[in-house]
Structure 1
Amino acid sequence: MAVPEPLLRCQAIEAGYDASQVLFGIDLQIQAGEVVSLLGRNGMGKSTTIKTIVGALKPTAGDIQFAGQSLRGLRADAIARLGLAIVPEGRHVFPNLTVREHLLAFADNRNGLRDSWTLERIYATFPRLKERENNLGNQLSGGEQQMLAIGRALSTNPRLLILDEATEGLAPVIREEIWRCLATLKAAGQTILVVDKYVHRLVGLADRHLILERGRIVWQGDSEALNADRSLWARYLTV
């Protein structure tokens, strides 16, 4: 049986900031319905990889294809309209918009997904957002803001959801709620690329993992392989 074309394909991507090169020949693929994690210590190029995928940073070499279309030369807003949504590190909710306004302002189903993320479905996934729907962004706790950031991304009905440090700085009980949400999204068939430092949780969630070291992918494999080889954790993932 032929392997389907990946939803996202990055080929030999190089990128950086001014004269400083950060990424060196990044190759990665994500199939529709997969959950893939991007791992590595701080400063190894994870956020730069994400910025390059979503168009916030232009690659200096290589190509990125999404659903068979090259993203070369496209602006970030055009890339988003193709069906990519990011939950950025730091959440970036609007302080003067209510929860409900956040979720309605960005709502769209331009890709015609059958089981779309409606306001009601987002509230069912995050009941706390329903309780707080009339509160402004700056009246929410950090955990509530993260739920809102994920809900806002889902309201665009993305074909690929990217989460950059989704549980960073959250209380343990809130982190658990985020992990439960991500498991629900996976069960619903949502394609996800996730960056997070809690490797022990990612091995139970993601299908595949890629480890970055100084802007290069130095290992990739499935959860069974990553869980079995703790030397990888010590070598590449612990401080």
Structure 2
Amino acid sequence: MSDALLEIDGLRAGYGGSQVLFGLDLRVAPGEVATLLGRNGMGKSTTLRCLTGWMAPSGGRIRFAGEDVTGWRADRIARLGLAIVPEGRQVFPNLSVLEHLRAFAANRCGAAEPWTADRVFALFPRLKERAGHLGQQLSGGEQQMLAIGRALVTNPRLLVLDEATEGLAPLIREDIWRCLDTLRQSGQTLLVVDKYVKRLIRLADQHSIVERGQVVWRGDSAALAADHGVWHRHLGL
């Protein structure tokens, strides 16, 4: 029996007659921070859509928290303990910050110290100051903080972050990186999709690089930091 929290084996998927994933494999252990890296259009978003239940794969298997969740609906996978901070934030424009955090609050996995609105406000004091503001009244950075807080109050086994620092001002981006480091230190399992490789090397334990729908390189932060040829070949950096 594997001790991985997430196991993706031989994942295949596509859109219409266009195949995007060609047997992708991925592992994330409990308490680990893992990344999924690659140029645009290489299959990262499709992988996340299959993982979160928004897209049915055409082949392969996804196991999460000891269950074969291949083809499960998104809500069922979420109840098993998977939460995503989606690209583009997707906060509700007519719900306040506090309403977001109360509406999504749950502790289905029995966290000993569950995330609550108060804990999120301690993590992001800026949100506490704006607790009564509607989603549409927040800046982009504040919306991103809220999207992370909204995911955290579900108390997930695995938190997936899809381009969580994309399009943010540098100071706000640093706030997000500090948040992710705090989550790492707390033992939260993370799967991060982002382009800032230097910061990810400092944050993550393991990295997987996707190219043309397959993982073409995997290794730890020391290995990735030491091989800039991998950056040039597969990430265009």
TM, length-normalised to structure 1: 0.97
Instruction: Give the match for residue 10 of structure 2.
Output: 12
1:101-150 alpha-carbon deviations (Å, 9 max, x no partner): 00000000011110110111111001111000000000000000000000
Equivalent position amino acid for 2:92 in 1: F
> For the residues of structure 2 that align with 1:30 and 1:226, how far apart are their CA atoms?
17
1:212-233 alpha-carbon deviations (Å, 9 max, x no partner): 0111110000000000000111
Q: Does 1:200 align with 2:206?
A: no
2:222 counterpart (218, 221, 224) = 224
Instruction: Give the match for residue 212 of structure 2.
Output: 214
Aligned length: 237
Equivalent position amino acid for 1:81 in 2: R
Q: How does 1:156-195 map to 2 (within 5 A)?
A: 156-195=154-193
Equivalent position amino acid for 1:20 in 2: S
Q: How does 1:1-239 map to 2 (within 5 A)?
A: 5-238=3-236
1:51-83 alpha-carbon deviations (Å, 9 max, x no partner): 110111111001100111000232110000000
Segments of 5+ residues of structure 2 without an aligned counterpart are none
CA positional deviation for 1:210: 0.3
- Which runs of structure 1 show a deviation greater than 2 angstroms over 4 or more consecutive aligned residues? none
> For the residues of structure 1 that align with 2:153 and 2:103, how far apart are their CA atoms?
9
Segments of 5+ residues of structure 1 without an aligned counterpart are none
Equivalent position amino acid for 2:7 in 1: R
Equivalent position amino acid for 2:85 in 1: V
Q: Percent sequence identity over matched residues?
A: 65
> For the residues of structure 1 that align with 2:10 and 2:121, how far apart are their CA atoms?
40
Equivalent position amino acid for 1:43 in 2: G
TM, length-normalised to structure 2: 0.98
> For the residues of structure 2 that align with 1:72 and 1:62, how far apart are their CA atoms?
8
> For the residues of structure 2 that align with 1:58 and 1:186, how far apart are their CA atoms?
30
CA contact (8 A) 2:5 2:65 kept: yes
Equivalent position amino acid for 2:109 in 1: N
> For the residues of structure 1 that align with 2:97 and 2:187, how far apart are their CA atoms?
25
> For the residues of structure 1 that align with 2:77 and 2:2, how far apart are their CA atoms?
22
Partner of 1:115, secondary structure, is coil
